[in-house]
Amino acid sequence: MIRVVVNGALGRMGSQTVSAVGAADDMELVAVVDRRLDHDTPFCPDGECPVVGFSDVAAAVEATSPDVMVDFTSPSTVEDNLRAVLPFGVHCVVGTTGLSEAKLEELVRFAPSGTALFVAPNFTTGAVLMMQFSRLAARYFPDAEVIEFHHDGKADAPSGTALRTAHLISTARDEPSAAPGRETELAGYEGARGALVDDVFVHSVRTAGHVASQEVVFGSLGQTLTIRHDSFDRASYMPGVLLAVREAPSHPGLTIGLENLMPLS
């Protein structure tokens, strides 16, 4: 059995993860953590109290010695969470966005060797494929823009998926885009062309009604190609989260992206 702690357990993603881990035959949910929980109290999601709830992840790890900690908290706290947990040698599966690759490389050094720090900007298989298809298309379509759509409760913009997609496109394309840039924005309307991420324009839409969607629009002489992915329900993230809990421990060190755990050829 893989012993799992879920951090951010009362949130939109954390509560789904609590249910998914609880239902997995090969996993044991040993503690849940959320800063909105009272410290060291029974956690009773369905009227039953199978696990202890904590307000602080370090205390939960010390008390329960998990194999894996899953983090779906917030961009402002995830760094502190990892600083607290990695020195215990607990493998970390992180969905929380907002940490740069350089910061993650710094954080993994806090862990004893053999410990895994696995981070996925997006745990849906469809989004991973969208990013891989975009990487392929970028070689043939240097003009590319990312439009991402999320619910109005999202704390960060652009999304981690959009940042990762832009990075993959910019490293895959052979030549820079010749599309007009910020110099074409009218005075008083700065930002009209979006945020420039690794030389790729990214546009973030935030409205009620969306869960998470992204379009990558490619253009070339006389043709366009649009690759789109939609998550309609947070359940779509759970197969990827469980895959990461199972597989991350055999990938010590820093790994970024679910594609590293999914056979793609």
Burial 165-192 (b: 16+ CB within 10 A, else e): bbbbbbeebeeebeeeeeeeeeeeeeee
Active site residue 154: yes
Instruction: Please report whether residue 165 would count as binding ligand NAD according to CB under 6 A.
Output: no
Strands in 223-231's sheet, in edge-to-edge order, are: 195-197, 200-206, 143-150, 212-220, 223-231
Rounded least distance, CB 93 to ligand NAD, Å: 10
CB-based closest residue to ligand NAD: 11
Q: Quick one: which of 13, 70, 82, 227 contacts ligand NAD (CB under 6 A)?
A: 13
What is the total count of residues that contact ligand NAD (CB under 6 A)?
Answer: 27
Instruction: Please report whether residue 31 would count as binding ligand NAD according to CB under 6 A.
Output: no
Rounded least distance, CB 77 to ligand NAD, Å: 3
Half-sphere exposure of 186 (CA within 13 A, CB side): 2
Instruction: Please report whether residue 39 would count as binding ligand NAD according to CB under 6 A.
Output: no
81-110: which residues touch ligand NAD (CB under 6 A)? Answer: 81, 95-97
Instruction: Please report whether residue 158 would count as binding ligand NAD according to CB under 6 A.
Output: no
Q: Quick one: which of 5, 6, 7, 200 contacts ligand NAD (CB under 6 A)?
A: 7
User: In the numeric block, which tokens belong to residue 43?
Assistant: 């956690």
Rounded least distance, CB 183 to ligand NAD, Å: 32
Angle, helix 125-138 to helix 238-247, in steps of 10 degrees: 90
Q: Which residues bind ligand NAD (CB under 6 A)?
A: 7-8, 10-14, 33-36, 57, 72-75, 77, 81, 95-97, 120-123, 156, 237
